[in-house]
Amino acid sequence: MAIQKTDRIWHNGKFIKWEDANIHVMSHVVHYGSSVFEGIRCYETKSGPAIFRASEHMQRLLDSSKIYRMEIDYSREQLVQAMVDLVSTNGVWPGYVRPIVFRGYGEAGVNPIHCPIEVYIVNFPWGKYLSKGGDEGVDVCVSSWTRIAPNTLPAMAKSGANYMNSQLIKMEAIANGYVEGIALDANGLISEGSGENLFLVHKGKLLTAPIANSVLPGITRDSTIQIARDLKIEVVEPGASNTKGAMQVSGEVIPGGQFIFAGALYSPGAGPMQPVNLSKKNSISFWTKGDGNTYTLLVLTASRNGQNGEAPAMTSFTAAPEWKQYTFPFSTFETDGSDLSGIGFLRAQEAGKFQFEIDELEIK
């Protein structure tokens, strides 16, 4: 969506015209990515415009600046006030507020220290970021790009340079027909999307990647965790290996259903499973715990998907009351080597009388 201009922009303590907010091509930021910024929603409420957690956002801006040794002449309170004044001067809400601090025109080399610090705040209308405006979901994929490692560029800072990594993730996702890409961190653990933190609902708990997995400490993430805790929902920030497993089995246990879930291997939510070429895989494994009944595992492939007359490949297992890991070689299923299109767990007992959970499902 093209940027919709507004009347005024706040620059180093003064309001200037939108058209006058220009920088020189030799500004340090243009060449070396030396900026830190914020993205803040301003909502319309019954009592007027409300900037979402204005203080926390400006604190993060100051923190990002500190990491990059950018000295800002304004306090958090002054920056919050500037933001409030700007929204009210422009009269633009609901919308977006974009404070940005960068190294301006000074010297040409990498050393940024002698380049002046410029502080701008812009406010303009901007709708929903990922969806078309409603509450519909979007298709996401796991990116082939890795999120920046903590000892390269700190994800703790919301710096412009970090978004070169985000751009690679985003462009690849769009080129492949998705709306957004999810990056793994340098250790192969779930990190975040190119422009948002991630949450999974799994076994009644709320999972999110820990800050250590190269995620931006999102203000929305913080609010979500707080609201979940207030609602007595357990929040887990898995440190080790099981985020990916949980994501792979992003469906939840649905007591009484016939099919517990089908697919979503690399796509959280109910999106279609990305095809997995079985000729390069040997087995499927998962952990399960349940009511002691026997269940059926279905493996759906492109040609054995239950739709063309061929039944999906199946095998059975018992969901014992203690967590137990099962590994089934694909030879068990007599799959025909065509692409895997879904995994299903079928009840073998009477409706409403089963209960079991699956965790860390992996296709190896």
Name the one range near ligand PLP by CB under 6 A: 119-127, 188-196, 288-296, 356-364.
188-196
Binding mask 56-85 for ligand PLP (x = CB under 6 A): ------------------------------
Query: Which two tokens mark 332?
Result: 């068990």
Written as one letter, the residue type at 359 is D
Would you tell me how many other CB atoms lie within 10 Å of the CB of residue 109?
A: 11
DSSP 162: H
Q: What angle do CA 248, 251, 252 make, to 5 degrees?
A: 125
Q: Which is nearer to ligand PLP, 129 or 259 (CB)?
A: 129
CA distance 304 to 293: 26
Residue 282 sits in the site that holds ligand PLP (CB under 6 A): no
Shortest distance, position 218 Cβ to ligand PLP, whole Å: 3
Q: Which is nearer to ligand PLP, 55 or 111 (CB)?
A: 55
Phi, psi values for residue 18, rounded to 5°: -50, -45
User: How far is residue 362 from each of residues 3, 36, 144, 289, 309, measured CA to CA in Å?
Assistant: 43, 39, 18, 16, 27
Shortest distance, position 48 Cβ to ligand PLP, whole Å: 22
Shortest distance, position 272 Cβ to ligand PLP, whole Å: 25
Indicate the pairing of strand 283-290 with strand 95-103.
unpaired
Binding mask 192-231 for ligand PLP (x = CB under 6 A): x--xxx------------------x-xxxx----------
Binding mask 1-40 for ligand PLP (x = CB under 6 A): --------------------------------------x-
In the residue annotation, 203 being an active-site residue is answered as no
Q: Can you point out the beta strands (E) in 113-204?
A: 117-124, 140-146, 180-184, 190-193, 199-202
Shortest distance, position 196 Cβ to ligand PLP, whole Å: 5
Indicate the pairing of strand 140-146 with strand 180-184.
parallel
DSSP 64: H
Shortest distance, position 114 Cβ to ligand PLP, whole Å: 30
Residue of 17, 46, 66, 158 marked active site: 158
- Residue pair 219/161 in contact (Cβ under 8 Å)? The answer is no
Residue 339 sits in the site that holds ligand PLP (CB under 6 A): no
The residues binding ligand PLP (CB under 6 A) are: 39, 166, 192, 195-197, 216, 218-221
Catalytic residues: 158
